[in-house]
Structure 1
């Protein structure tokens, strides 16, 4: 029999990178040399924006995508900040709107002319002031119009309504150290952050709560990054203690249950045994020295309706295979049941044990029981099942009984011997022998 390794092919398997020709590049751009860990570049379907060197303040270029080639040093810039620009981000809902954060502690939002700049742009649409230190992170909400997030070196995250220039939420207690980056999840209900304290956090901005936290996502001292993926997982890049590059993919983190008392052991209730009407998602049975303590895990929800997302079909009590089928090489997935109506235990099948010939079927191959001849055992075992006549069956039964009696006699003999040895040992310990 030959085996062939089967590998699932990825549709991205043969993707490769290829640089464009020189005439399709943007040349002679004086990219900012500010010492800040930023991308310094933002692009959308209409414009390319690049943070550039500027004397006496901060500036960035905004170029139409088709303006390739050499960029004249006199090309107009967006230059309203009084300190270097640290981060820029295009609005996802308006390709002519861009936000910037600066060392001057402000956030500015700019309206770019439809055909690009023909003169320096110095007047922003709105100036957002709320940070006490430089603003190094800017990111628009992915689905809500006019919602903008900024994070500064004051370790504060602010969320703004750009349309009214008001501060919506101030998150100033979650981060004890410098925030490296912020990333919204797909629908903008949460965002994740990477912090200098080596922790990755998931935060609900509207409630101001820390949803999940991961300590030492990467243990290296160099900056790390965390981004939400479309499926809800979090992707991080960072470094090990030896400054080796690391990549990691994380499932969303769960809250933890802690107890002052250690456990001797722990049991876990199968899913079908949970109370779906109470949104119970797990139940553990914690063993102490002298008691067993159930610990119930629930998801707080107000609705009395069945929560489909909490209770996908789960493994039921019905077996998918019999033992013999599995031994024969078959495989099968568990038989799933729905918990929509809550699981009600039904009458279970009694466990039926069909005993085999324990003397001939369970002993090691090539061995025989004491008191029985090898030839007799071989003859009994080699007789095909189901082909015996009544007389042969009676003879085989008598043969088994003889073996059983011989075994019983041997056991009795060994028991008597053990008793004699124990008696002798007792006398020796008492000094009688």
Structure 2
């Protein structure tokens, strides 16, 4: 009806590039949420992808196109499906995401992610205080620095991202909140929900909500605030399931200004509104139509339909490209990115002009500058800065690209934007001063391949100074007694050949020695095959081994190490729990006590008679009750007596005092199944890794919430965690996206990923054991026949492969013993028991040495006492910080290798080349070498012939010729 209304944009025509200009061969799948599934900044486009883990986003440069047969770069954002995401308006690399895993995360997208397989870490991880919730939307405040709105169930949660805290929570909707939109000046919000209402509020004021009945069908709805006006537009379904578009004036919310009814398709319109041109695009999920409308709130009919474009593909999601990224010199006034099941189609709207040599200012009004106009604390106090800074899109008025990456959380607008270069418009003098003080324009960075930066993860909670000291001032690790690890660091000294000397580890040629048949326990009964993957399924100490049996009722056989050989056929005496066994663990300070976790949520603690089991026991010493679901993991404290940690499928961890038979601490913060947990060597911290792909560090005596949270292994099939390098680092084992096994080293003070090493492809979870004295990491899994060995150092590449040990056949599990079980006289530095389907076999790892009659003090530093407690359970709960003692493993009768007399070795024989001068030094060296060789030969002959120096030789009895018999 344009004969009644003149418009500059009514003839804007859609232009779609050929398929070479699309992003094709991607796997989007069928994302289901209230988000748009694709968002763009002036530099990037991010979209949902079909991923088995469900928590990945595809990310590409904004103008990237072509086939992606090799896949697209992925941002591993969450453990479950990412429901919504939003780019910050004043930093083109700052992205907020939310997910069904109940977390909101803030990401600073590294450019290396586009060209290399780097792993980005979240800048912030936010958890709504409402507990378990369904997060559906996130939306940045358009003008206030670091203010973010998210929906959690029926609540609107407001965040101050710079401080990683909730500002407020408004519970206005009676049911699930479906859509949220800010007013352009950032003062108010509009939302729609499943309760069929549309609501307007100032989130800074409690109970300030105004509401009206929205669309009659609650299946889905969307809402958008029309710029800085008092009008909002919503889309949804009517009572007869027909699609509706409704325009409302917030000053008279109950009476819509305009209601447009469409067809009965179930795809909801996604409203995309450009506040600069008043152009409205309606794109419906599942449709192939893109409708272009103009909005004129000054007079009826308010909404004017201009054109429709029929695409060749069905829409899964859509978004507008920021005005700063448009080709203004080609008359491009808007661009839509359409997401389909396997491609992204850009649709550009161009205003036809006779010539595009000059910039057409009449169709490109000044647009919003990429800077905030207000800061969070002022906005929260009620101050509104409604005059938003604007910039010109005229290329002749600026010397820099309008893409911005330099914003830092918590620093206001961070740096200064040079207003003289970009031509700030629409702002008064005070605003210009604000801009000069707050922001800066930066050159557009190149998207060419660059070395991958290692991005640090900001912990979910700040680490206090005392906690940092645990990592940074670990004197026990750095006092020179730690395996002389410091002696084994990579020595990169230039060699004569111009290269570098390769470090040679003392453990490079370690070998494993399996016990003979006489030292094995054989003829085992059938083993239980239903033990969960979180459990090792086999535990041993120097006195006994525990094996779960394939007998209903939870039978755990206890075998005496001293009684080796072939077991008699029949039923073995065992501990009968009455419920399925989930995990079990020996007390490290008492070889006769064992704790067993069961699927009835109870932990049973047993004492084994001194001479072993002679009959089955059915009654434990006592039971621990506290978990609401199956107990899956048990870990005794490494230095405090009677302290036990247990993890359950209820996603909680309880710290028990066995002396009081009650739990003293409860740890929270997990959102999915806990795969593994490990105590810090000094027992002050507890690390966990879980199915939500998160690595967490707890200080259980000070807080129930994680001290640190970081990104763990990307796979969800299983993982393990252990401490390394004196507690300054963490090691995880897990799987990558294609189920390849890998190990990863983290800085424990920040959970920053340092290095990842691929192992092989196998379905078995790698179980790690770390020997802190030699810094050797042993890895093997159920069904493996190889035990992988690595030396772990803080120097790149961190994991130095040693000689891997291949067993004669596959095993079920391996259980390592305390250090005092090693036979140091045989140069054993680690010893364990190996469980196969029919045997228990001793296995020792040794280092070959020539002078093994001496104690190898370079291989055996003073070791930490792990077989005796350092403190009582009460001292632990009283925040005692005793450090475990260290003792020497040297037997009294053995002398140290460092004190042994030096062996005189023969000098190497030197043979000069032809024509080379044989100086006196050559003959002296060779004469000495020959003399030593003769002495060694004589000594060897004496041992073989067995004669003394005083014995008469046969030639001594022979008579020689007289002097007169010699001729002249």
Q: Where on the TM-score scale, by shorter chain, does this alignment land: which range? A: 0.5 to 0.7
Q: Deviations over 1:168-202 (max 9, x none)?
A: 1112x311110011110111111101100011111
CA distance, structure 1, for counterparts of residue 705 and residue 650 of structure 2: 19
Instruction: Verify the 8 A CA contact 1:48 1:64 in the aligned structure 2.
Output: yes
How far residue 64 of structure 1 moved from its aligned partner, in angstroms, is 1.0
CA distance, structure 2, for counterparts of residue 39 and residue 255 of structure 1: 25
Task: Note the 1:47-66 alignment, pairs <5 A.
Answer: 47-55=544-552, 57-66=553-562
CA distance, structure 1, for counterparts of residue 549 and residue 725 of structure 2: 32
CA distance, structure 2, for counterparts of residue 221 and residue 250 of structure 1: 19
How far residue 53 of structure 1 moved from its aligned partner, in angstroms, is 1.7
Q: 1:76 aligns with which of 550, 562, 573?
A: 573
Counterpart check, 1:25 vs 2:520: yes
How far residue 128 of structure 1 moved from its aligned partner, in angstroms, is 0.1
How far residue 26 of structure 1 moved from its aligned partner, in angstroms, is 2.3
CA distance, structure 2, for counterparts of residue 105 and residue 71 of structure 1: 33
Q: Deviations over 1:313-339 (max 9, x none)?
A: xxxxxxxxxxxxxxxxxxxxxxxxxxx
Counterpart check, 1:87 vs 2:583: yes
Q: Deviations over 1:257-313 (max 9, x none)?
A: xxxxxxxxxxxxxxxxxxxxxxxxxxxxxxxxxxxxxxxxxxxxxxxxxxxxxxxxx
Question: 1:227 aligns to what?
Answer: 722
How far residue 8 of structure 1 moved from its aligned partner, in angstroms, is 2.4
Instruction: Verify the 8 A CA contact 1:86 1:103 in the aligned structure 2.
Output: yes
Instruction: Verify the 8 A CA contact 2:519 2:564 in the aligned structure 1.
Output: yes
Counterpart secondary structure, 2:512 = coil
Question: 1:310 aligns to what?
Answer: none
How far residue 70 of structure 1 moved from its aligned partner, in angstroms, is 2.8
Instruction: Verify the 8 A CA contact 2:603 2:631 in the aligned structure 1.
Output: yes
Question: 2:685 aligns to what?
Answer: 190
After the TM superposition, list the runs of 4 or more consecutive aligned residues in structure 1 that deviate by more than 3 angstroms. Answer: 1-5
Query: 1 or 2 for the larger relative contact order (CA 8 Å, sep ≥6)?
Result: 2
Q: 1:147 aligns with which of 635, 643, 650?
A: 643
With normalisation by structure 2, the TM-score equals 0.25
CA distance, structure 1, for counterparts of residue 640 and residue 497 of structure 2: 57
How far residue 5 of structure 1 moved from its aligned partner, in angstroms, is 4.0
The answer to which structure has the higher helix fraction is 1
Counterpart secondary structure, 1:17 = strand
Question: 2:732 aligns to what?
Answer: 236
CA distance, structure 2, for counterparts of residue 250 and residue 18 of structure 1: 32
Question: 2:630 aligns to what?
Answer: 134
Matched residues, number: 252
Instruction: Verify the 8 A CA contact 2:548 2:556 in the aligned structure 1.
Output: yes
Counterpart check, 1:161 vs 2:657: yes
Question: 1:366 aligns to what?
Answer: none
Task: Note the 1:244-259 alignment, pairs <5 A.
Answer: 244-254=740-750
Q: Deviations over 1:185-233 (max 9, x none)?
A: 1111111011000111111111223111112x22123211111225111
Counterpart check, 1:107 vs 2:606: no
Instruction: Verify the 8 A CA contact 1:147 1:160 in the aligned structure 2.
Output: yes
CA shift in 2, pair 1:71/1:84, >3 Å:
farther
How far residue 17 of structure 1 moved from its aligned partner, in angstroms, is 2.1
CA distance, structure 2, for counterparts of residue 244 and residue 167 of structure 1: 38
CA distance, structure 2, for counterparts of residue 85 and residue 43 of structure 1: 16
CA shift in 2, pair 1:205/1:186, >3 Å:
same
Q: Deviations over 1:127-186 (max 9, x none)?
A: 001112111101101111101111111111011110111111112x31111001111011
Task: Note the 1:250-399 alignment, pairs <5 A.
Answer: 250-254=746-750
For structure 1, the residue ranges without an aligned partner over 5 or more in a row are 257-433
Instruction: Verify the 8 A CA contact 2:723 2:730 in the aligned structure 1.
Output: yes
CA shift in 2, pair 1:67/1:29, >3 Å:
farther
Q: Deviations over 1:3-58 (max 9, x none)?
A: 46422221211112233333432222322111511211111111111122222x11
Task: Note the 1:402-417 alignment, pairs <5 A.
Answer: none
Counterpart check, 1:40 vs 2:549: no
Q: Deviations over 1:86-137 (max 9, x none)?
A: 1111111111111110112110111111111111122211100111211110
With normalisation by structure 1, the TM-score equals 0.56
